[in-house]
Amino acid sequence: MFGERLARAIAEHGPLCVGIDPHEHLLESWGLPATAAGVREFALRTVSGLKGRVAAVKPQSAFFEQYGSAGVAALEETLAAAAEAGILTVLDIKRGDIGSTMGAYAKAYLDPASALAADAITVSPFLGFGALEPAFALAAAHGRGVFVLALTSNPEGREVQHAGGSGDSVAGHIVAQVADRNAAALAEAGEVSAGLGPFGLVVGATIGSAARDLGVDPVDCGGPILAPGVGAQGAGIRELRDVFGPAALASGQVLATASRAVLGAGPEGLAAAADELNRALIGES
């Protein structure tokens, strides 16, 4: 089950997940062109430099897709390289659709037969939580994970995610739905009282008191939590503890994501930057 695999990876390598976001300014700082070839080199160097150092990497699909078929091929190579290096992959695609279209997305990113398959993906529930069923079903069948957007840090997200207010928010509904999915998955696996389920949430590390204000506890989802916003966006261990509580960090439930704070160190410095940030996230000096 994906939750178990992730918990083991966090226990071994720490809670850091590095986002592979090849922005043009980062490509330039690495001496690489803003082309598919540049993105490929950037991503493969990142994977190589982080081998044995982090629990997961999170390629942002859009930065590859913008270069067309060659960019998608680079993404395929990146996912394969991470698998070869023993690093879990969370493919940040934020797909969300209905019916056969959602089923096709699920096959593209969760079916082991696809060259684009990752260990886990991000999805958007805002066409209705039940519309994500093809992703949940395929993830469960193949030991993969799904992270559902719940409380993101962008200001625009509030108008949808906070709708309904305290005690009846959209975000709270999403947490409850994910919790139900995980309870069912764990019960089917005979693990009712132990372990993380395969389905998680995306909750920004910089949301501050937003979850508390809405009466929502993301930890209740029973699965892993992907927490972007660490490092350059301002979140550290204090902010993570504020949002999720110390127990969630100690249990390995929270996968803290940073990109620029690591990638900005360049190909020669990213390993040391990742090590330093990982130590900070587990409270070591």
232-259 confidence digits (pLDDT tens): 777 888 899 999 988 888 888 999 999 9
Q: What is the dihedral of CA 15, 150, 152, 8, to 10 degrees?
A: 10
The pLDDT value recorded for residue 98 is: 96
Which positions of the chain have pLDDT values less than 70? 191-194, 284-285
Q: In a 3-state reduction of DSSP, which class is residue 35?
A: coil
DSSP state of 131: G
Q: What is the dihedral of CA 47, 16, 7, 224, to 10 degrees?
A: -110
DSSP state of 31: T
The tokens for 160 are: 């949808």
Q: What's the one-letter identity of residue 252?
A: G
Backbone angles phi, psi at 73, to 5 degrees: -60, -40
Q: What's the one-letter identity of residue 88?
A: L
Listed by start position, the domains of the chain span: 2-280
Residue 125: other Cβ atoms inside 10 A: 20
> CA-CA distance, 136 to 130, in Å (whole number)?
10
Catalytic residue among 51, 58, 94, 107: 94
The pLDDT value recorded for residue 271 is: 96
Active-site residue 107, yes or no?
Answer: no
The pLDDT value recorded for residue 37 is: 98
The pLDDT value recorded for residue 191 is: 62
Q: Which fold has domain 2-280?
A: TIM Barrel (3.20.20)
DSSP state of 15: S
The pLDDT value recorded for residue 285 is: 32
Identify each DSSP E strand in 96-239 by its residue range: 120-123, 145-151, 199-203, 225-228
The pLDDT value recorded for residue 232 is: 74
Q: What is the dihedral of CA 165, 167, 170, 171, to 10 degrees?
A: 110
Give residue-wise pLDDT tens across range 63-82: 999 999 999 999 999 999 99
Residue 208: other Cβ atoms inside 10 A: 14
The pLDDT value recorded for residue 247 is: 84
Q: What is the 3-state secondary structure (H, E, C) of 72-129?
A: HHHHHHHHHHHHHHCCEEEEEEEECCCHHHHHHHHHHHHCCCCCCCCCEEEECCCCCH
> CA-CA distance, 242 to 237, in Å (whole number)?
8
Q: Using alpha carbons only, give the angle 162, 19, 69 rounded to the nearest 5 degrees.
A: 105
The pLDDT value recorded for residue 246 is: 84
